[in-house]
């Protein structure tokens, strides 16, 4: 966003207040990206599993891993999930272990998960949830991870990929929240 005060980067989902033509309000211009009126968010980002999965697969492409981050410039796994679902009108807690308590069980068969289902993983002896991703269908999952350096789409049925095989071994729960 550019104004008389310089250029600002706004995160995905940022709210910008329209000054409504007030004479002393600075003029601001969107330099890159798009704006959506708040009243049109539900049309642009419907609360459906397919739309949520599509957003998960595209909006954070190129995102680097940033612990505690929630934007396409840097996110962690649960911040990515929280931001994507918020765009679609679904409020989720901030941490993966908290997100794992939401929604309904989506079953244990990875190839049967619906787009938009959440997958939860643990690499700990106590099995506490430490990672989350979004099912895209066809055994694929979008997530942001330190191990992949940021955003990635995994084929969880690819036994030749050691990272994906480890994720499958660490899968602890699946949830359907949309």
Between β-strands 74-75 and 70-71, what pairing exists: parallel, antiparallel or unpaired? antiparallel
Instruction: Please give the positions annotated as active site.
Output: 77, 131, 143
Clarify whether residues 63 and 93 are in a common domain.
yes
Clarify whether residues 8 and 49 are in a common domain.
no
Q: Is residue 78 part of a domain?
A: yes
Clarify whether residues 59 and 83 are in a common domain.
yes
Find the domain containing 73 and state its range.
45-176
* pLDDT on residue 5: 60
Clarify whether residues 17 and 60 are in a common domain.
no
DSSP bridge pairs for 159: none
Q: Is the pLDDT of residue 23 over 90?
A: no
pTM of the predicted model as reported, rounded to 2 decimal places = 0.84
Cα separations in angstroms, 46 against 28, 55, 73, 94, 150? 28, 10, 23, 21, 26
What are the tens digits of pLDDT across the range 41-70?
A: 788 899 999 999 999 999 999 999 999 999
Residue the block writes with tokens 């989506």:
106
Mean pLDDT of the residues in the chain: 89
Average pLDDT for residues 135-142, to the nearest whole number?
98
Cα separations in angstroms, 101 against 85, 119, 129, 143, 173? 15, 12, 10, 18, 10
The domain tally of the chain equals 2
Q: Is residue 163 part of a domain?
A: yes
What are the tens digits of pLDDT across the range 78-113?
A: 999 999 999 999 999 999 999 999 999 999 999 999
* pLDDT on residue 167: 97
């Amino acid at each position: 966003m550019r104004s008389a005060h310089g250029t600002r980067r706004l995160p995905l989902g940022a709210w910008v207040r329209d000054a409504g033509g007030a004479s002393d309000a600075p003029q601001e211009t969107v330099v890159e990206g798009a704006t959506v009126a708040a009243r049109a968010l539900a049309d642009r980002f419907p609360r459906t599993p397919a739309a949520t999965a599509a957003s998960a697969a595209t909006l954070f492409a190129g995102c680097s891993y940033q612990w505690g981050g929630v934007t396409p410039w840097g996110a962690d796994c649960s911040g990515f999930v929280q931001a994507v679902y918020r765009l679609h009108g679904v409020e989720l807690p901030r941490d993966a272990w908290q997100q794992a308590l939401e929604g309904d069980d989506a079953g244990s068969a990875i190839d049967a998960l619906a787009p938009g289902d959440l997958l939860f993983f643990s690499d700990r002896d106590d099995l506490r949830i430490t990672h989350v991703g979004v099912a895209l269908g066809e055994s694929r999952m979008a997530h942001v991870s330190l191990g992949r350096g940021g955003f990635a789409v995994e084929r969880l049925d690819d036994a030749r990929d050691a990272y994906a095989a480890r994720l499958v071994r660490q899968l602890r729960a699946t949830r359907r929240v949309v």
